[in-house]
Structures are given as structure tokens and as C-alpha cells.
Amino acid sequence: MRSAGIQPDDCPELRLQKALLVMASGLVSVAAIGWLLIYWALGPKLSTTLPVLLQALVALNLVIYALTHNFSLFRASQLALFLFFPFIAQWALGNFVTASGVILWGLLAPIGALLCAGPRESVPWFVAYLVLTLVTGFFDFMLAGKPGMQESEIPLRISMAFFALNFATLSAVVWFLMRFAILDRQQAEQALHEAHKRLREEQDRSDRLLLNILPQPIARRLKDAEPTIADGYPEVTVMFADIVNFTQLAADMTPQQVFGMLNRIFSHFDMLAERHGLEKIKTIGDSYMVAGGLTPGQSDPCAAVAQLALDMRDWLGGEGARGPNPIRVRVGIGTGPVVAGVVGKKKFIYDLWGDTVNIASRITSEGAPSSIQCDALTHARLADRFSFDPPHVVPLKGKGTVVVYRLTGQGTADSSPDTPARLLAAS
């Protein structure tokens, strides 16, 4: 009977309330039968009118509830039966002693209201139970020993036995209902805990995916529903790395082999960028873009980008080499002001704009295989810690000529006395 009247769209709390009240109705009906049969077995032949009427009303109430699904009406009528019938039974049997305190069963009404309606709704039912108990006790006290009062046909020994039986049975019913409610709530709490745990895992997974796309401060601002995310940075070091002769390399490969090659190379680049505390911005075909200086706390992002470029070049020329055709990259590094922001609402991307980005991209394409070309500001930031080839002038479409320096490794070995101004004047 625990699932009777429960609808698919009922919330867990309402499901529990319905199950408890229907189960209590069944237990009361069974108790009424047992109560009468035990009396008869012990000798007294009591009228069956009240027990049969109680069972008939409970059954009718259940049928109406099954047809209408009106739980509020069912709850009110069933609690009223729980409350009034024990008092009617005691009044019919005589007094507290002869009826063996059967009014204790009326306590099911406020307890049922507490479990099936709520603490506030249970107060009137408890007050009604107390009032009926006190009124019944008052009349028993006033009428006790009065002449003309008929002696009960129920022997005192049987009354005492039923005192114990009523206490024990009612306590068992209340304990059973409370235990069922507590176990159900514990199961619901456990299910809720598991749901929260899965939700946290999914949230952590979503956060990790978001951090794979965006820097952490930007991801936080996006989660906070900031409408526009665009920032200007006075100095950021931007690096592009292009695979040399990618079109010719890919021509002799299957799509799966092309993907495998790019995934292997760029995954290792990702690991190197994370090791140096740099932000991968995006990949465009065979081009890989990284920036340093976008997140606070980086002590020397320009040097970190330079070291990343050397590590990428050396890895491809060493343990990262595969097959008869070596894979080499061209790298371009530019330093200067940029604008960074999130573009779009769906399938958004975090990107950089500005002259610094354009210079880094264009000097990449002008470099030789395995070369790392840097603009003048990058060279100025690194000249005391890294070695460079002598500067040379590179013509860039839309920019004229710019001075670039080829990064060769760590340590100072800049052999050129020429300055960028003298080179530009000569060109």
C-alpha cells in the first residue's frame, strides 16, 4: 500500500506523506480486527458495530482517494477518523479502566498530521486530542461511583491486559511510521548527496573545459555573466609557430594521419606552454598561438615565451622527431600592447588584436625553417639573457620594413653593433 495514490510528478516529500498516511490507514484497520478478536478470545463478546464501521469508513475513504487523487481531503477525513473513533469506542465501553485507555489510539491523529502535513498543521490536531482527553477524563471522574452507573462486563484482568496491549501496539505503530519516515528521508538525503556530488563533478569538468578555452580570470568573469569582456594590455608577448611545408607533408597522409600528427605536436606544445605558465590562445590550421603577460603574477612572460619557442624547436629536432621527413617550425615573437577579449555568444573564442599580433604573425611567415624571429622590443627585453643573430630588416606588407632578430638560444652572444634605427635608415 506504500505506493497507493502516488503520482509520477509528486515531489519526494509528498510521496512520503501519501505513503505514510495510506500505511497508517491499513495498520489501523488491521488493529481494529485484532482488537476485537482478542477481546472475544478472552471472553467478552463486544459489539462489532464500531470496528466494522471504522473499517468501512477507512476503506471508503481509500476508494474515494484512489478515484479523485485529492490528498488534502483524504488526509483531513482520515485524521478525523483516527482522532474521534478511539474516543467513541471508550465512551461506548465505559471509562478509562474498562476501555483500557483505548483513546491512546487518538494520538495517531496529531502524529499523522505532523508526518503528513507539517509541524504547524499538526497543532490543531494535537490540541483537539488534548481537549477530548481532558473532557473524557473529567466526565469519568465526575461519574465514577455514582449510583445507577452500570458495572462493566469486562473483567479487570482483561482491562489491565488491554492497557498493556494498547500501549504496546500503538507504540509499535508510531515507531514503525517514524522509522519508515526517517529511513525514507535518509535515502532521499543520500540520493540528494549523490546528485550534488555528480553535479560538482560535472561542474568541475565544465570548469576544466572552460579553462582549456579561456584564461582563469576570463573564465570567472564569463561565469559571472559579465556582458562584455574586452581588456587592453600595455605589454604582452605574442608568439606564432607554423609548421614548415605543412601542405606538402599532409599531401601524402590520410586524414587520420594528419590529425594524429597535429594532435601529437600541439598536445606537446600545450604541455610546454602550461609548464611555462603561458596562455595558449588558439590553433589555426597548422599555426599555434601563445601569449604571455595576460594573467597577473607572471614575473617575466617575455622570457617564458622565448624559452617556450626554444623548447618547441629543440623537441621537434630531437625526441619529437618522427619518420623520414623531419617536422620543423617557423616561430615569430612580438611584444607590445594588445586588446584581448571574448568574441561571440556561442562557440566563443578568446582572441587578441593589435599591431603586436600582426607583427608576430607576419615575421613568422618571413622566417626560415627552425628560426625564431623576434621584433625589436622583444630583443630589448631578452638581450641580456638570450643569444641572437645579428639583426636584419624584413619588409612587411602594410607595415613597411621592420628590424627583426633571430633567437638562437640562451646566453648573451649578440655580435651586432648595429641599432634598429641605423638598420632602418640603411634600408
Q: Spell out the per-residue pLDDT of the chain, length 427, in tens.
A: 666 677 778 888 888 888 888 888 888 888 877 777 777 777 666 667 777 888 889 889 888 888 888 889 989 999 999 899 888 888 887 777 777 778 888 888 999 898 888 889 989 999 999 999 899 888 877 776 665 545 556 666 677 777 777 777 778 888 888 888 888 888 888 888 888 889 888 888 877 777 766 767 777 777 776 666 778 889 999 999 999 888 888 888 888 988 988 999 999 999 999 999 898 888 888 899 999 998 877 789 999 999 999 999 999 888 777 666 778 899 999 999 999 888 777 767 778 999 999 999 999 988 888 899 999 999 999 999 999 999 999 888 777 888 999 999 987 654 444 555 455 544 5
29, containing H or E segment = helix 12-42
Rounded CA separation 331/368 (Å): 9
Pair type for strands 372-375 and 329-343: parallel
Contact 145, 104 (CB under 8 A): no
Do 240 and 282 touch, CB atoms closer than 8 A?
no
236: its cell numbers: 604582452
Q: What is the pLDDT of residue 412?
A: 66
Tell me what pLDDT residue 350 has: 79
Whether 320 contacts 269, CB under 8 Å: no
- Pick from 292, 283, 238, 280: which is nearest to 261 by CA? 283
Q: Classify 228-426 by CATH class.
A: alpha beta
**Distance in angstroms (rounded) separating the CA atoms of residues 159 and 293:** 90
Show me where the domains of the chain are located.
12-198, 228-426
Question: Which residues sit opposite 388 in a β-bridge?
Answer: 407
pLDDT of residue 18: 86
What's the pLDDT at 38? 76
Single pTM value for the model = 0.55
Cα separation of 196 and 212, whole Å? Answer: 24
| pLDDT score recorded for residue 53 | 86
Return the amino acid letter for 271.
Answer: M
Residue in the block written with cell 477518523: 81
